[in-house]
Structure 1
């Protein structure tokens, strides 16, 4: 199994990660947002010298280094002469550093990197590859690896069809805590791409999508069960699809990342599933989902038709196992979900 772990982007954090686990196959981190943005907030934006230093350190430890430049919207800058030259120069510098792979969402970059550079080209989860047809298009553009859209993580017919349709490597994101079939997904990542990319910088009032998504999960906790995460115990169900798994969370501290690496490497976690999910702390600290009580749920999801109003399995499961942290007499206590807010 090849586990890719997230990394915030500074050498101290990388040293802590690689000292803390021998199960990390590859590290991924954001690049410099002055050239191409990313689909997540940059807590650290390493320059080329820092990337070179960290790449050398990772390689000394036998670990692959991947740079993520997965802006879902460039505002057309990459199609101007000035923008193309600037981005081409940056790609060339990363190539000279010895980066093993580079993750992009823009189809133009997939073709550009495949034709002109030696780095492995990884199609980002933000390219939303959720069908064999899309996978075939990206393979034709030159992709070496495709990160499948998590929306089909529990749709084995589609996963198997994608696997059969292309010869590229496939990578699955295992711990995303986003809404299943989120209506804000495209708009939110486009917003992040501009907020965390080349200027002009946005002077926004607030992140509407973040707070709306947060409120929906708090008011309707069954959405936590529907989120397309993959439990550590269920990795075995996917090994005929791929042996490459990506842990999300490059804005988290190393101890959180290492807890995930241990759980997925061991294919077992005895604790709150929320500890593993890449989702806001506001949610992680509110709910308890005993991971071991989800044993066997994958059997239902493998045969599910994904018509929630007819099925109701995730709603019933949420009511059965989710607990809510409440404060009583100054102490945190757990209460069954059904007693909270009439759920």
Structure 2
């Protein structure tokens, strides 16, 4: 087992996780030229000196550090004069800080970094959205040696094929994204553009998270049909040739990260599974709507949406109650070719393991017709009245 773990740049993180099989950490500055996989408002602000000290501590512990360069969209700036020179300066800066590799999604960036810095290791990010062996081989030919899989992490034919093609396959285990999320492309681009140096009007909240939260509120079984991996099921991946597992949580506290690392190392967690998952449908959307409500923004829209999402704050997933062979049953199902309504397996498991406000799903009443959340898009933008950077400076960041 090899674990790849998110860094929150807390000096205590490295020391508190020494006994676990962590081979590398990952992270970056909140805002960079290229941008990364998380919006800046949820990440710790760090100085270059803090970054350098943190990477040195990682190396002293015998681990590597990868910088996240995993934007899915460069905002067309790659076509502008001087961009490559700025890119060269940024990559050189990070290499001099001591990073061992980069997590990258855009093929042109992978190829450029590999050519300019041939001894730097490259991982193809989850933002590359690799769904076939042919896609994976393309990234391998361009210089990546690791392929990070998220959306397709329950497609074991794909995982075996990528491993057979010579890839070091890394599976992200603790996200709660829903099955084949229709909002994902918009979400990736929002996070990418919001974290770039040249973005002037970055939103303070990612609207696709609200859409995702409402989907789960309408059908909580989607949590079970999603992309998380239970600690108890790592052996299924190892049988497919996958031995490297990624734990997200750059916005989380050190005790939270340590708990997740400990659970996956022990291959068991006898509690609420949401304790170790990045439960993105809950805190961020609810906190964003609460802020709008407090500021009197569109109460006829905000308040019904708040009421719809509030039950998610009470959701628990009893990890001990999962049926034996849960993941193997899913692995044997062609999920891409069958409707969840026709299959019903995850819905049945959800009835066993999910509780809302302490009650079974049979007692849960999903929200009815809701107002259009798209009307709130301008309110999440930085140019909305009351949401300029100066006016938001004193407010706490939206959690996620």
TM-score scaled by length of structure 1:
0.91
Counterpart check, 1:304 vs 2:333? yes
Instruction: Give 1:232-247 correspondences, 5 Å limit.
Output: 232-239=231-238, 240-247=240-247
2:14 and 2:359 mapped to 1: Cα distance? 35
1:134 and 1:14 mapped to 2: Cα distance? 38
Instruction: Give 1:327-338 correspondences, 5 Å limit.
Output: 334-338=358-362
Secondary structure at the aligned position of 2:25 is classed as strand
Query: Conserved in 2, the CA contact under 8 Å of 1:171 and 1:242?
Result: yes
Query: Conserved in 2, the CA contact under 8 Å of 1:275 and 1:284?
Result: no
- Measured against aligned partners, the alpha-carbon deviations of 1:221-243 in whole angstroms (never above 9, x if no partner) come to 01100111111011011114221
Matched with 1:35 is 33
Could you tell me how far 1:126 is from its partner in structure 2? 0.2
Aligned mate of 1:339, from 335, 345, 363: 363
Could you tell me how far 1:155 is from its partner in structure 2? 1.4
Q: 1:17 to 1:286 in 2, by over 3 A?
A: farther
- Measured against aligned partners, the alpha-carbon deviations of 1:67-96 in whole angstroms (never above 9, x if no partner) come to 112111001213333111111111112222
Instruction: Give 1:19-168 correspondences, 5 Å limit.
Output: 19-23=16-20, 24-31=22-29, 33-42=31-40, 43-117=43-117, 118-148=119-149, 150-165=150-165, 167-168=166-167
Q: 1:342 to 1:156 in 2, by over 3 A?
A: same
2:277 and 2:205 mapped to 1: Cα distance? 24
- Measured against aligned partners, the alpha-carbon deviations of 1:201-235 in whole angstroms (never above 9, x if no partner) come to 22548532111111111221011001111110110
Aligned mate of 1:289, from 317, 326, 340: 317
- Measured against aligned partners, the alpha-carbon deviations of 1:32-85 in whole angstroms (never above 9, x if no partner) come to 523221121231243433322211111111121111121110012133331111
Query: Conserved in 1, the CA contact under 8 Å of 2:193 and 2:202?
Result: no
Matched with 2:248 is 248
Q: How many residues matched? A: 330
Q: 1:66 to 1:206 in 2, by over 3 A?
A: closer
1:128 and 1:81 mapped to 2: Cα distance? 29
Segments of 5+ residues of structure 2 without an aligned counterpart are 284-310, 368-400
Q: 1:251 to 1:139 in 2, by over 3 A?
A: same
Could you tell me how far 1:138 is from its partner in structure 2? 0.5
Matched with 1:331 is none
Query: Conserved in 2, the CA contact under 8 Å of 1:110 and 1:141?
Result: yes
1:252 and 1:178 mapped to 2: Cα distance? 17
1:207 and 1:27 mapped to 2: Cα distance? 25
Matched with 1:329 is none
CA RMSD, Structure 1 to Structure 2 (Å): 1.9
Segments of 5+ residues of structure 1 without an aligned counterpart are 326-333
Query: Conserved in 2, the CA contact under 8 Å of 1:287 and 1:324?
Result: yes
2:205 and 2:16 mapped to 1: Cα distance? 38
Q: 1:139 to 1:315 in 2, by over 3 A?
A: same
Instruction: Give 1:309-328 correspondences, 5 Å limit.
Output: 309-325=341-357
1:203 and 1:16 mapped to 2: Cα distance? 29
Secondary structure at the aligned position of 2:82 is classed as helix
Could you tell me how far 1:195 is from its partner in structure 2? 1.1
Q: 1:31 to 1:206 in 2, by over 3 A?
A: closer
1:164 and 1:121 mapped to 2: Cα distance? 19
1:284 and 1:274 mapped to 2: Cα distance? 11
